[in-house]
Structure 1
Amino acid sequence: MPYVLRVDEDMFKEHVSFEVSAVPWDGVPDGAEVALAGPEGVYALGKGAGGEVVVDERIDSPVAVEAPCEPGLHEVDEAWWKAVEAGVEGHGPVEDYIVNLSLPIEARSEAEAARLFWSYVRLLGPENLPLFIAPYGNELEGQAYLQGVPHEGDPEEE
């Protein structure tokens, strides 16, 4: 029997940087399929293992399905689980991508530039730093992304 784990809204507030590998939760049967749901739908799929939900797959665009409103672990039927699986985009082979983040840095040395780069990345975060992503070997088809969503233009002009 599959399950849905409805978690606190704050866990998914910044979905683009959501990097959980396991969520402790008593009562998850080992090997059980579990969907992690938040206010906008299902964000991840995983399996029960030793009292945790081990996340196997993050979902970039949350699957909008009706999920229980109350936080906690809930059993769901196979039809609900199939609807979630059908709504997951990008199910398919893994591909290679070039991901680029370039920042102009004024510094007195390469070492200082490296330190400042990481400071700016932490300070500005995914909501302010566009990434340029292209399929490997086809860099001319690159696209700017801001918080995991295709983005046109300069984020500072908005």
Structure 2
Amino acid sequence: MRCELYRTDPAALIEALSSERVLRDYLSAQEAEIPVIADRPLVAFLRRLNGLAAQALASGVTALAKRDPAHTDALLTDLFAVATWNRWELPVERLPESEVETDGLQRGLLGADPGREGASLWLVDHATVALARAREAADVAEWDHDRHGGACQH
């Protein structure tokens, strides 16, 4: 799969993506983007990610990850995709784009991203992540509001 590659310390990257600045910038960017998207399932997906980002802002990414690691990892992936697209400051070094064999690689920074919708992020090795940008949502976004407080159901 064709991916953008980045050299980083995954722990430092998680910390940066969990920062109040990145979460607030993400919420602002999504707030501006959502009204112009015509794809209803994609809008539903992005709204659920916004809900997760708001929860992370209120209680912290660590607390959110303890409650819902899969959806927290999906949020971290989208945070990374949006932050790198907008060239926000992160502890990463962009490497040349490359074909990456993703089978068998850890998906997501926490290794819990179910990867059904949105961007995909893989941990290639202890210091390299691969990002495939895709903002395609399923025909119907699957969300379990009661069980996950508005988080997506996979």
TM-score of the superposition, structure 2-length normalised?
Answer: 0.26
Higher helix share: 2
Question: Greater Rg, structure 1 or structure 2?
Answer: 1
TM-score of the superposition, structure 1-length normalised?
Answer: 0.26
